[in-house]
Chain A
Amino acid sequence: MRVYTPKDNVQKKAYYTDRFHKVPHVPKEAVESDEVFAADLEAIKAKFEVLDAYIQVGQMVVFINAKDNYNVLELMRDELEYTQLSEMSAVDFLAQNNSFEVFYQMLSMNKRKRIRVKMNIKKGEAVNTVEPLFRSADWAEREMYDMFGIEANGHPFMKRILMPYDWHDHPLLKTYPLHGDEAASWYEVDKIYGKEARELIGPELRDSAEVDRYDSNRFARLGFEVSKGTEITGDEPRVEQSYQEDGGVFLIKKFDRESSTVIDDPQR
């Protein structure tokens, strides 16, 4: 029997951890240890609820409520001189506490400081867009939607950015499988011809070394060229293939072999 693995987090796990292993932590410093950060935090605290704040590896991390994200970032941009949104994305903690951690990485060029604003949102919740504040959020939020399925309310063009529009699921979720869909090569066949045709059509040809019987005509190897017009014979007769949806497709002219000119010899 196959070993059961939990499906809510398919990320690779350490296969061995020795029993004396003690997990260390990156030290967190108090915000008061840095004057600039302390002043910034005071300014944010004066207007919004701050859930947690500390300094880690030289950057301040501020946890806020998800509903305040637009206003906090606006305050930071207009009053605290954090003029650039370097990066934003999310971290998937669905398996641990059914939430995403969304972070905004802010940069102040005048103060030479970086702040990471973080907030937690539950599964299925959307965030407020910050695109009107920072145009860079336009693409960043699209990427976050593409990778995690977190939508941004009020975003002008909430579409996938890296994956194809018709892609199923969001790849950076921890539930997203690490191997491909083995049945995918049949979907097109099933849709057009029905499942019964699978046997007739056979599996997709993925062998790049496969030699088609017409290949000796089309792509002869150097030194083995076949003169033009040579009869290439195989065991099956050549069948003309054509396919069209029943009833036709919008804007597309129905193909009719009878009324078309067929050019047998392209170099006539």
Chain B
Amino acid sequence: MAQIKNRLTPFFENITFDREDNEMVLNFGPQHPSSHGQLRLMLHLQQEQIVKAHPDVGYLHRGMEKMAENMIYNEFLPTTDRMDYIASSSNNYGFALAVEKLIGLEVPRRAKVIRMMLLEINRLMSHLFWLATTALDIGAMTVFLFAFREREYLMDIMEGYCGARLTHSAIRIGGVPLDIQDSFIPQLKDFLDKLPQNIKDYEDLLDTNRIWLMRMEEVGTISTEMALSWGCTGPMLRASGVAWDIRKEEPYELYDEVEFNVPYSDKGDNFARYRIYMEEMRESAKILYQCIDMYDECVKNGQTELMAHAPKYVSAPKLDIMTQNYSLMQHFVLVTQGMRPPVGEVYVATESPKGELGFYINSQGGPYPYRLKLRAPSFWHTGILTDLLPGHYIPDVVSIIGTTNIVFGEVDR
């Protein structure tokens, strides 16, 4: 029988709504370019002023937690790239660290230094991206082009390291897969040497710009209590007067060996957050210079190990796999069956560019996590819009969404 196609094609009808009061309901997103992905906001308006905001999320929900329960640990690692895809190594790292804590692995020093470099490069990439998109949302096209140009250099460095520009999967459970390439440090140094001038350029364009100040100052003010109550972390919390940085307070890797400051502000408005992102870029550059020195030291001391030695959990180096029978067998078992971490649970928080990125893993001794909960900072930073937006005007919505720096890959997971 011939098929009749297009039978279920909808057609448009005239719909009329009547309301008694003056309130208008405005649907913002999920395809709005400044909604940073798939944010849908239902805004109740009195004239131009918002009286009630209802963020609606879930348009990018992929069920990562369910996927994790049915994947071996190493298999899940590339999936974490798709959470905060602006700084994907941070997610890889958060997951790898959680599994390492669960197993009790100690990562070699050289791998730690490389990881720190990758993390800080990702932080710079994320902050530059934030600056570019927020400035663009507010209408500053020049800053957008400048910041994307700098981000491109970093992406090239990452591409040279791991072959990917956005979804890196550059960190493994137990260390890093590769040593950095020869051009890595010279390129990074070139970039870092230019960075202070670049940051100054952005600031010259924005700091005294009347439009920027009007859109940023005294807009989207978050009090300390509100930030704590809503579970805000990262720049969102530091802009509201709490100098809490997990790298400083609960140091992981070698963050206790490097010198850096934690910028914070007690203003809590958009402008404070903007200032914090700018200062954090400078701090990241400081950390990266120190990492380069630490790396040179590792080379001098002949520390060549990149992966932890734990035959039950981590495959041997490629050379061993290709030459030694036992290593090959072990590798085969780890790839086909997967590692089996001990029974227990762990919650590990790391400071991703957006805030506290936490991985809760409940292991029942099997090769698949029994439960894996992803604590993504952007989830709470989206939730706070419910309380933050009322009282503001429509144009403020865009600048507030901009400075909360939410990425929907990790809100919806």
Contacts and interface: CB of A to CB of B under 8 A. Distances in A.
A24 B1 contact: no
B375 A86 contact: yes
B181 interface: no
Given A139-B383, A251-B15, A26 B7 contact: no
Interface stretch (A62-70, A120-128, A156-164, A222-230): A156-164
Interface in B20-77: 57-58, 61, 63, 65-66, 69-70
B379 interface: yes
A16 B176 CA distance: 29
A84 B240 CA distance: 14
Contacts of B367: 14
Interface string B328-340: 0000000001101
Interface in A139-198: 139, 147, 160-164, 171-172, 176, 178, 188-189, 192
B412 interface: yes
Interface string A23-65: 1111010000000000000000000000000001101010000
Tell me the interface secondary structure of chain A in the complex: loop
Tell me the interface secondary structure of chain B in the complex: loop
A112 interface: yes
Given A109-B242, A136-B229, A202 B3 contact: yes
B57 A161 contact: yes
Contacts of B309: none
Interface string B1-17: 11111111101011111
A201 B360 contact: no
B386 interface: yes
A135 B229 contact: yes
Contacts of B338: 14
A182 to B, nearest CB: 18
A144 to B, nearest CB: 10
Contacts of A59: 347
A212 B65 CA distance: 39
Contacts of B229: 134-136
Among B4, B6, B347: residue with most chain A CB under 10 A? B347
Nearest to A193: B7
A87 interface: yes
A119 interface: no
B266 interface: no
B37 to A, nearest CB: 14
Contacts of B340: 14, 21, 23
A200 interface: yes
B358 A201 contact: no
B231 interface: yes
15 contacts: A12-B368, A26-B102, A26-B344, A26-B346, A83-B228, A86-B375, A109-B242, A109-B249, A112-B249, A134-B231, A135-B226, A139-B379, A139-B380, A164-B58, A252-B13
